[in-house]
Amino acid sequence: MNIQLHRVLLSLLVTLSILFGGFFAYQTFYIKRSIQQSVQKTPHVTIEKLEVSPKEVQLQLKIDQQFPVHSMYVPLYQRIKSYVGNRELRLQIQDQPDHELQQAWSQMLFGIREGLAQQRYTQVLHTVEKVAENQQIDYQVNMDQQYLYVHLRKGNHFLTKVISLDQESRAMNKAGSEVKNIG
If one counts the domains in the chain, the total is 2
* Same-domain pairing of 87 and 124: no
Same domain, 83 and 104: no
Residue 67 shares a structural domain with residue 133: no
Closest CA to 80 of 28, 127, 39: 39
Whole-model pTM? 0.75
Shared domain for 103 and 157, answered yes or no, is: yes
16 and 46 share one domain: yes
Give me the domain span that covers residue 105: 99-173
Question: Do 66 and 46 have their domain in common?
Answer: yes
Query: 76 and 7 in one domain?
Result: yes
Indicate whether 178 belongs to any domain.
no
Which residues sit opposite 61 in a β-bridge? Answer: 47, 93
Is the residue at 135 inside a domain? yes
Higher pLDDT, residue 175 or 130: 130
pLDDT band for 167, please (50, 70, 90 cuts). low
Classify residue 182: in a domain, yes or no: no
pLDDT tens for each residue of 58-107: 999 999 989 999 999 999 999 999 999 888 999 999 999 999 999 999 99
Structural domain contains residue 179: no
pLDDT of residue 182: 43
Are residue 75 and residue 114 in the same domain, yes or no?
Answer: no
E strand map for 6-164? 45-52, 56-63, 88-94, 138-143, 147-154, 157-164
